[in-house]
Amino acid sequence: MDNLILRAKELLENKTVQVVIGYEAGPTGVVRPAFISDPANADSLIYDERCVQNLAVYLTKPEVKHLGRIAIVSSLPVMRSIMMLISEQQISYDEIVVLGISADGVLLDIADLSVMQGYIDKSDLSNPVKYKELLAELKKLTPAEKFEYWQKELSKCIKCYACRQACPMCYCTRCTVEVNQPQWISVQSNAHGNMEWHILRAMHLAGRCISCGECGRACPVGIPCHLLTMHLTDQVYNYFKVYAGTSEKMNSVMSTYEPNDKESFIV
Ligand code: SF4
Ligand code: SF4
Ligand code: SF4
């Protein structure tokens, strides 16, 4: 990825940005996020199939925002996350430079927001192929079988909230689960509390999830919680013909109402 390194160095040297967020190999070879502010360190940047973490999660962190203008290595899920964060007024495109990377690992020339929009528009935005088969299998289950499947999976949840921390759309300063007056969600990791947490999380991500899969990947006990939000992604598309992260001006599906909306989903 020589082009990426050269571009990162150039942006840091001419002070277009103060930090580049990308990927590097740590001392044990495990790929980790890199925050590079010295052009001399840009040589450590890598991009290959191991670079899957959705880096957009850092764009809303105050400690990262304080670093200055950011260049961010962006695969399609990162670009869609950026589009969502702009549409939800969490960041402005002026605060960042997008170092877009195509699906086959080529550095893209994302000169401005309209170029990024064009790249997203011509991409396949449905759930990633690797999850489609499992989603289809789950869809075939009866409601009782689905409930049993999720009860079993969610019984493993230790409420560590790594799934939330990994998600770029979970940027709330104070998550509902941390509010105790009133206590919306029980703190304990038990069958009832776990179900409450996951229903809440899924509904908060409905129409906002950009299908990166990071929540499931972050889970230390292997709960496929990404399938909940990806299922809702399918549902939102079926009903409203819209995918998250496709426009800087998109309205939230769960908080937008038109008097002539179909109400067939209300039973
Ligand atoms: S797949 Fe998970 S981490 Fe990624 S946007 Fe959706 S809910 Fe967030
Ligand atoms: S789960 Fe809901 S309240 Fe908590 S951080 Fe995510 S979006 Fe915010
Ligand atoms: S990361 Fe896994 S164990 Fe932790 S709260 Fe999320 S689903 Fe539960």
Task: Name the average pLDDT for the chain.
Answer: 94
Residues 6+ apart with CB under 8 A from 100: 74, 79, 107, 108, 109, 110, 116, 119
Among 53, 131, 172, 205, say which to mutate for ligand 1: greatest number of ligand atoms within 8 Å of CB.
205
Per-residue pLDDT at 68: 96
Domain boundaries, the chain: 2-121, 129-255
159 CA from centroid of ligand 3 (Å)? 5
Q: Which amino acid is at 249?
A: K
Q: Whose CA is nearest to atom 2 of ligand 1?
A: 215
Among 160, 165, 169, 175, say which to mutate for ligand 2: greatest number of ligand atoms within 8 Å of CB.
175
Among 85, 170, 179, 194, say which to mutate for ligand 2: greatest number of ligand atoms within 8 Å of CB.
170
Dihedral angle computed from the Cα positions of residues 223, 226, 227 and 231, in that order, rounded to the nearest 10 degrees: 150
Percent of the chain exceeding pLDDT 70 equals 99
Per-residue pLDDT at 155: 94
Q: Whose CA is nearest to atom 1 of ligand 3?
A: 219
Cβ atoms of residues 72 and 97 within 8 Å: yes
pLDDT, tens digit, 9 for 90 and up, residues 112-144: 999 999 999 999 999 999 999 999 999 999 999
163 CA from centroid of ligand 1 (Å)? 8
pLDDT, tens digit, 9 for 90 and up, residues 213-248: 999 999 999 999 999 999 999 999 998 899 999 999
- The closest-lying atom of ligand 1 relative to the alpha carbon of residue 208 is 5
Q: 10 Å Cβ neighbour count for 220?
A: 10
- pLDDT for residue 4 is more than 90: yes
Percent of the chain exceeding pLDDT 90 equals 84
Q: Whose CA is nearest to atom 4 of ligand 3?
A: 160
Answer whether 9 contacts ligand 2 (Cβ < 6 A). Answer: no
The neighbouring-strand residues paired with 32 are 24
Per-residue pLDDT at 267: 57
Here the contacts of 112-115 (C-beta below 8 Å, separation 24 or greater) are: 113/86, 113/248
Banded pLDDT at 56 (limits 50, 70, 90): very high
Answer whether 170 contacts ligand 2 (Cβ < 6 A). Answer: yes
Ligand approaching nearest to the C-alpha of 163: 3
- pLDDT for residue 265 is more than 80: no
* Cα–Cα distance, 134 to 136 (Å, whole number): 5
Average pLDDT over residues 153-172: 96
Per-residue pLDDT at 257: 80
Answer whether 208 contacts ligand 2 (Cβ < 6 A). Answer: no
261 CA from centroid of ligand 1 (Å)? 27
